[in-house]
Amino acid sequence: MSASTHFLYGAHLQANGIRQHYLRYGGTEGGRGERDAVILLPGITSPAVTWGFVAERFSRHFDTYVLDVRGRGLSEASDTLDYSLDAQAADLIAFAGALGLRRYAFVGHSMGGRIGIRAAAQQPAGLTRLVAVDPPVSGPGRRPYPAQLPWYVDSIRMARRGITLEEMRGFCPTWSEEQLRLRAQWLHTCDERAIVTSFEAFQTDDIHADVARLRVPTLLLTAERGDVVRPSDVEELRALAPELQAHRVAGAGHMIPWDNEPGFYAGFGSFLGQALS
């Protein structure tokens, strides 16, 4: 392992009846062992490996795990697997239990934020904090999620055939070459049925009911640019969970760590018990 990385290993485990793959960074040496572990939950088409650069920063201070959500990356996928939000949340709770973590926080981006909220609402043993990063607030009777399904499906189908760097740039024009190459390499591992099911669930799952049941300290990080979470949405969520903390990341669109990485880390402050310096 290079001295410049805190990556430890990738592994699989059986939890909630499926194979779950994850990447571990940091470990428990030094001060990390005294702090709560962190489980990172990527978004709808982001395999765990694409969040490696975020995990590197977290792992300076925390024992950090990045989960491949079912149907993504190297976790289990099939034509019959349940890809619902309830199944994803059950996976997450079972994952933490299978690792034997006694104290841990969920940090979820976009779809991962919704998974973290749904799981945290069930008050699993050992969960100490929740961070939801620009989670879709669409749902029954609400405005639709602003992205369009073909953006995801078309890029996945192209990736299955072998997508070029320039073709990938057409979908993510502001990303660096390194980020584009990594997405092009791994996007084909996203099961199309899993993506469609999750996208459609953005319109049908009521995440606000889950927010009202949260009992752990919660931080909501939102993007200044983009239309996923508006300031009025933040106020509505605060009314449901009065202790909820919120921070808006300047100059960032929905993919906050890609758009303003320093601002993303700064937005956590000391919420997790240690600043992400």
CATH code of residue 82: 3.40.50.1820
- Nearest Cα neighbor of 41 from 131, 121, 129 is 131
Question: Mean pLDDT over residues 65-94, rounded?
Answer: 98
CA–CA separation, 273 vs 136, rounded Å?
26
Position 277 in a domain: no
Could you give phi then psi for residue 74, rounded to 5 degrees? -105, 10
Question: Mean pLDDT over residues 198-209, rounded?
Answer: 98
pLDDT in tens, 116-156: 999 999 999 999 999 999 999 999 999 999 999 999 999 99
- Nearest Cα neighbor of 131 from 111, 117, 150, 119 is 117
Position 2 in a domain: no
Residue 84's pLDDT is what?
98
In which domain, by residue range, is 220 found? Answer: 7-140+205-266
Position 175 in a domain: no
- Structural domain count, the chain: 1
Position 26 in a domain: yes
Position 69 in a domain: yes
Rg (CA), the chain: 17
Find the DSSP H helices in 59-148.
Answer: 85-99, 111-120
Tell me the two tokens of residue 232.
């009025």
Position 179 in a domain: no
Residue 1's pLDDT is what?
41
Question: Mean pLDDT over residues 71-92, rounded?
Answer: 98
Position 195 in a domain: no
